[in-house]
Structure 1
Amino acid sequence: MKRLFVQFFIIIGLLLVDSCAKNPVTGKRDFMLMSEGQEVAMGQQSDPEIIAYMGLYEDPRLQRFIDEKGQQMVAVSHRKNLKYQFKIVDSPIVNAFAVPGGYVYFTRGIMAHFNNEAEFAGVLGHEIGHITARHSAKQYSNAMLGQVGLVAGAVISPEFAQMADVAQQGLSLLFLKFGRDAESQSDKLGVEYSTKIGYDAKEMASFFSTLDRLSKVSGAEEIPTFLSTHPDPADREEKVGKQAANWQKQVDASTLKVNRDSYLKMIDGIVYGEDPKQGFIENNHFYHPVLKFQFPIPAGWKVENTPQQVQMADSEGKAVMMLSLAKPNTLEAAGQSLLEQYQLTLVESKRDEVNGLNAFIMIADQKAQDQQQATVRTMIYLIEYNGSIYTTIGASAITDFNTYFDTFQNTMRNFRQLTDSEKLSRQPERVRIKTVQQNATLNQVFNSFNVPEKRREELAVLNGMKLEDRVNKGMLIKVVERDNGSISVRR
């Protein structure tokens, strides 16, 4: 044990040698264990994982816009040498994020909530700021220092080895949370960069108010990721407003752009909310119109739908289910592959039918590595449908398995073909830009466009306005409609 700790501190010492690098933004020396080449390599590795996880939103006009503005901003940034890439991902969540090496992502959800180019430019500058100030690299360096401890601990305790494995997951960059100092610095850089390319950064401050209202309308569980780990929105709005005013003293403020109408016209037709073609939930059922299947979701369970799988979790966190596609194969071979992939020990298995579809069912355990961990028991259904094999796995501690047995089975045995024509033809909601016909309040204008009362506050937030705000004839506003022109009440 003594030798182990001597080796541990020798490793620490080696890591600290030449580990301080000059920060491109502050000019100060920072503790850094990642070179610029490693940053780029990490971004190159993470980008395809992020795209596979979220999917790209195909809109050539919007893509050209973010590319053009992104490259303009790179030219005034502190790290012009990186090869930046700007992408729109197909997610309704209101979020923007960046990963090391120059990769910046906007969800279609946040693009729908911007109300002018200046708001977009402020957030763009914020995300580029994370890259130029090397915030991700700092987080990585701190994590690596901790990883040395995990590696040393793994010799002593298997659970530390498991933690180390989790810490190395590629998609962890997608959920990276920065400290408040880093976020404040990125806000400051967002003001600087957006002002330098000719936008009014006060609009960036106003967008924080929209995010704050969005979180209150949506509820605590749906706080926008862009807002969730950031400084207090009211305090943030005030600080950014002051920073914008200071920067505007250094330029001709009369030339700074907002470009509201041009932005609104550009996002006319953008998909809003969940896209039915990716699957949707209604009345505790999941429907997939493209793949033409459906199954029930346990009442009260939380659901996350991604292009790769549907994940469901018990509200108490004691059980999970996930549905995904297996590689084309026989049912038995696909089952064996799952056992190997998750290191499961087969308890029992059988051939069966589920609503006329061939199925293979397994009960299997994942043994605990020590006495302090519970054995996990799984129920696995593999079902052949339309030339594919759909796999649903339900898992809980073996001590809770009987409690969740019927819940797992109810979902899995009710997987079936989707035949409801209304659900098969369900169209997405889209943002539609309308011209105000007379001077009125926003609420009165919504009434003239037949916006349901229960959705007016939601759409007021989408417009960055309040229902009592006055709007003038000829002004553009957003409403939400389906492709057939109807405005949905269901949300």
Structure 2
Amino acid sequence: MKQRTARKGFRVALAIVVAILFSGLAGCMTNPTTGERRFNLMSMNQEIQMGQEADGQISETMGLYPDEALQSYVSDIGVAMGSGSEWPDLPWTFRVIDDETVNAFALPGGYIYVTRGILAHFNSEAQLAGVLGHEIGHVTARHASTRISKMQMTQLGVGLAMVLEPELQKVAPLAGAGMQLLFLSFSRADENESDELGVRYMADMGYNPEALIDVMETLLRVSKAGGGGRLPEWQATHPHPENRQENIRGHIRDLGPRQYKPDGRDDYLRRIDGMVYGADPRQGYSRDGVFYHPVLRFSLHFPTDWTVINQKQAVIAVSGKRDASVQLSISSESSIDAAAGNLYSMQQVSGAGVTRTRINGLPAGIGSFSAQTQQGQIDGSVAFIEYDKRIYQLIGYSGANNWAGHRETVNASLRSFAALTDRRAIDVVPMRLDVIRVERSASLRQIYQTYYRGSTAPVAVEQIALINQLEPESRVSAGTRVKMVR
């Protein structure tokens, strides 16, 4: 059975290579948005299919911000802009991701995402429209599919590995193809082109494109300040072209004189008032080497020098040398034996199965395994734990040559899973935006000091200045609405 599967995999891989090579002969096509001929192996229908498949994975893995009114607000603006573009019939879809990272993403086929982190840094509906228009430009100019097509021609080996070893992707909850699309970086030329298209789409909707300049300046400040989150920051996927602001001004001048509607500042700030700001501890947080999940009520110890990545469906810890990992997820099975059977039934995985035991009083099954990969053998340990009507799957592994040095640390982490009962760890609340109206003219620093008088400020005045697109000493007029954090 294994030999037949391998042969079939090679035949499929060979067919893909042949298809890619021959499609390259006719891979240059004219984009109606830009009027330019570019190398692209994908039809728009293929882009739509790719976007649809990735959308489900991204929504499930990253999670959407649970505010239907805010989701509808962003979607309505985006769909209206997309429908007025050169590709009005795409299944335009706009979602707010529940993540503190400051970024926005566009997938092929019309799927666009903004994080709540970036929404916190906008001051008006026009600024939101500016970023949505920019991302729509990436879609209509087909930047992602063009870059993927070029990668297919230069990285066939990576594609072959994925075709030949699809089963290995089930060993642990690693990011799939949809998530990998979020990490695709555009070129500076792509950015300039999307800026130009974004200016056009904004103006066609009646928004003053000058708002896009303010946004780009703010995002550059955010990138320099650094940040966190599960996703790459704006600068990592949207490299900042030289003279960006001046180029945008040039695109605005090319439009000629126009009348624009108000920027919608007050309405926008009203809609994000109370929005979660920063990391949401209810979704899990780390403290002193321990990961706590208040909602699912469990704790897990990770090595103190390992990097912890908290996703909706998995918690992943990676060693400092990036040669070992511990990953926790919830199995779709309802019993320890069934969950273990899924792992050990994979063709590339070998092991004796699990031994039933108890971990911190919870029913569990523990075992070891080996798996063959394109890069060589990996060895690891696994624990399946029954807790609160769920089966938790914990897998730790590294390359076979390094496993001896990690085995003890990994096994200690797997055996640290425990029920969380400490109310101090459970009763955590996230920070939220609080939009206030300034009563009298003052500097932002003075407003900050007055707002937090008698309490400890959760964020520095510099951060408050950043989300308001001001400086700490900026003068704020009476009656102006500003964002604070409580």
Q: Residue type matched to 2:435 in 1?
A: I
Q: Is the 8 A contact 2:208 2:261 kept in 1?
A: yes
Give per-residue Cα distances to partners, 1:74-119, cap 9 Å, x unaligned. Answer: 2431211223111112122111111121111111111122111121
Provide the residue aligned with 1:202 in structure 2.
Answer: 210
Pick from 282, 290, 300 the counterpart of residue 287 of structure 2.
282
Q: How does 1:110-121 map to 2 (within 5 A)?
A: 110-121=118-129
Provide the residue aligned with 1:364 in structure 2.
Answer: 369
Assess, with a 3 A threshold, how the Cα gap between structure 1 residues 121 and 400 changes in structure 2: closer, same or farther.
Answer: same
Provide the residue aligned with 1:124 in structure 2.
Answer: 132
CA distance in 1, matches of 2:415, 2:480: 53
CA distance in 2, matches of 1:67, 1:219: 26
Provide the residue aligned with 1:3 in structure 2.
Answer: none
Assess, with a 3 A threshold, how the Cα gap between structure 1 residues 412 and 11 changes in structure 2: closer, same or farther.
Answer: closer
The reply to whether residue 60 of structure 1 matches residue 68 of structure 2 is yes
Give the superposition deviation at 1:134: 1.3
Pick from 391, 414, 424 the counterpart of residue 389 of structure 1.
391
Assess, with a 3 A threshold, how the Cα gap between structure 1 residues 159 and 454 changes in structure 2: closer, same or farther.
Answer: closer
Q: Residue type matched to 2:257 in 1?
A: Q
Give the superposition deviation at 1:71: 2.8
Give the superposition deviation at 1:12: 6.1
Give the superposition deviation at 1:61: 2.3
Q: Residue type matched to 1:426 in 2?
A: V
Instruction: Give secondary structure in 1 for the equivalent of 2:460.
Output: helix
Q: Is the 8 A contact 2:433 2:485 kept in 1?
A: yes
CA distance in 2, matches of 1:342, 1:460: 55
Pick from 238, 243, 258 the counterpart of residue 251 of structure 1.
258
The reply to whether residue 345 of structure 1 matches residue 345 of structure 2 is no
Q: Is the 8 A contact 1:215 1:224 kept in 2?
A: no
Provide the residue aligned with 2:6 in structure 1.
Answer: none
Provide the residue aligned with 2:443 in structure 1.
Answer: 441
The reply to whether residue 96 of structure 1 matches residue 101 of structure 2 is no
Pick from 171, 183, 186 the counterpart of residue 179 of structure 2.
171
Q: Residue type matched to 1:251 in 2?
A: R
CA distance in 1, matches of 2:201, 2:130: 8
Assess, with a 3 A threshold, how the Cα gap between structure 1 residues 272 and 448 changes in structure 2: closer, same or farther.
Answer: same
CA distance in 1, matches of 2:386, 2:230: 35
Give per-residue Cα distances to partners, 1:318-340, cap 9 Å, x unaligned. Answer: 11110001133432332221223
Pick from 444, 459, 462 the counterpart of residue 457 of structure 1.
462
Provide the residue aligned with 2:8 in structure 1.
Answer: none
Give the superposition deviation at 1:225: 2.8
Assess, with a 3 A threshold, how the Cα gap between structure 1 residues 108 and 243 changes in structure 2: closer, same or farther.
Answer: same
Unaligned runs of at least 5 residues, structure 1: 1-5, 482-491
Give the superposition deviation at 1:66: 1.7
CA distance in 1, matches of 2:369, 2:353: 7
Q: Is the 8 A contact 1:214 1:223 kept in 2?
A: no
CA distance in 2, matches of 1:475, 1:319: 52
Q: Is the 8 A contact 1:296 1:415 kept in 2?
A: yes
Provide the residue aligned with 1:416 in structure 2.
Answer: 418
Moved more, 45-54 or 223-232: 223-232
Give the superposition deviation at 1:402: 2.7
CA distance in 1, matches of 2:20, 2:95: 38
Provide the residue aligned with 2:319 in structure 1.
Answer: 314
CA distance in 1, matches of 2:296, 2:75: 33
Pairwise CA RMSD: 2.9
Give per-residue Cα distances to partners, 1:240-292, cap 9 Å, x unaligned. Answer: 23433443x3313xx34322222111100111122223212223221111111
Instruction: Give secondary structure in 2 for the equivalent of 1:375.
Output: strand
CA distance in 1, matches of 2:397, 2:464: 39
Give the superposition deviation at 1:308: 0.9
- How many residues end up aligned between the 2 structures? 465
The reply to whether residue 326 of structure 1 matches residue 331 of structure 2 is yes
Q: Residue type matched to 1:52 in 2?
A: E
Instruction: Give secondary structure in 2 for the equivalent of 1:409.
Output: helix
Give per-residue Cα distances to partners, 1:359-387, cap 9 Å, x unaligned. Answer: 11111112465xxx543110111111111
Q: Is the 8 A contact 1:360 1:382 kept in 2?
A: yes
Instruction: Give secondary structure in 2 for the equivalent of 1:125.
Output: helix
Assess, with a 3 A threshold, how the Cα gap between structure 1 residues 453 and 395 changes in structure 2: closer, same or farther.
Answer: closer
CA distance in 1, matches of 2:433, 2:478: 20
Unaligned runs of at least 5 residues, structure 2: 1-13, 170-174
Provide the residue aligned with 1:488 in structure 2.
Answer: none
CA distance in 2, matches of 1:418, 1:329: 21
Q: Is the 8 A contact 1:209 1:233 kept in 2?
A: no
Assess, with a 3 A threshold, how the Cα gap between structure 1 residues 295 and 80 changes in structure 2: closer, same or farther.
Answer: same
Instruction: Give secondary structure in 1 for the equivalent of 2:179.
Output: helix
Give the superposition deviation at 1:448: 0.4
Give the superposition deviation at 1:161: 5.0
Assess, with a 3 A threshold, how the Cα gap between structure 1 residues 454 and 140 changes in structure 2: closer, same or farther.
Answer: closer
Assess, with a 3 A threshold, how the Cα gap between structure 1 residues 149 and 422 changes in structure 2: closer, same or farther.
Answer: closer
Q: Is the 8 A contact 1:208 1:237 kept in 2?
A: yes
Instruction: Give secondary structure in 2 for the equivalent of 1:311.
Output: strand
Give per-residue Cα distances to partners, 1:122-162, cap 9 Å, x unaligned. Answer: 100011101111112212322343466777xx6xxx79956
Instruction: Give secondary structure in 1 for the equivalent of 2:71.
Output: helix
TM-score, with structure 1 as normaliser: 0.86
CA distance in 2, matches of 1:113, 1:312: 30
Give the superposition deviation at 1:14: 3.1
Pick from 468, 474, 480 the counterpart of residue 473 of structure 2.
468
Assess, with a 3 A threshold, how the Cα gap between structure 1 residues 310 and 444 changes in structure 2: closer, same or farther.
Answer: same
Give the superposition deviation at 1:17: 4.5
Q: How does 1:154-169 map to 2 (within 5 A)?
A: 169=177
CA distance in 2, matches of 1:464, 1:222: 24
Q: How does 1:3-18 map to 2 (within 5 A)?
A: 14-18=22-26
How much identity, in percent, do the aligned residues show?
36
Give the superposition deviation at 1:465: 1.2
TM-score, with structure 2 as normaliser: 0.87
Instruction: Give secondary structure in 1 for the equivalent of 2:345.
Output: helix
Assess, with a 3 A threshold, how the Cα gap between structure 1 residues 144 and 216 changes in structure 2: closer, same or farther.
Answer: closer
Assess, with a 3 A threshold, how the Cα gap between structure 1 residues 180 and 234 changes in structure 2: closer, same or farther.
Answer: closer
Give the superposition deviation at 1:293: 0.6
Q: How does 1:374-385 map to 2 (within 5 A)?
A: 374-385=376-387
Q: Is the 8 A contact 1:215 1:223 kept in 2?
A: no
Q: Is the 8 A contact 1:217 1:458 kept in 2?
A: no
Pick from 22, 39, 43 the counterpart of residue 31 of structure 1.
39
Give per-residue Cα distances to partners, 1:423-456, cap 9 Å, x unaligned. Answer: 2221221111011122111111100011628622
Assess, with a 3 A threshold, how the Cα gap between structure 1 residues 325 and 231 changes in structure 2: closer, same or farther.
Answer: closer
Give the superposition deviation at 1:23: 0.4
Assess, with a 3 A threshold, how the Cα gap between structure 1 residues 398 and 145 changes in structure 2: closer, same or farther.
Answer: closer
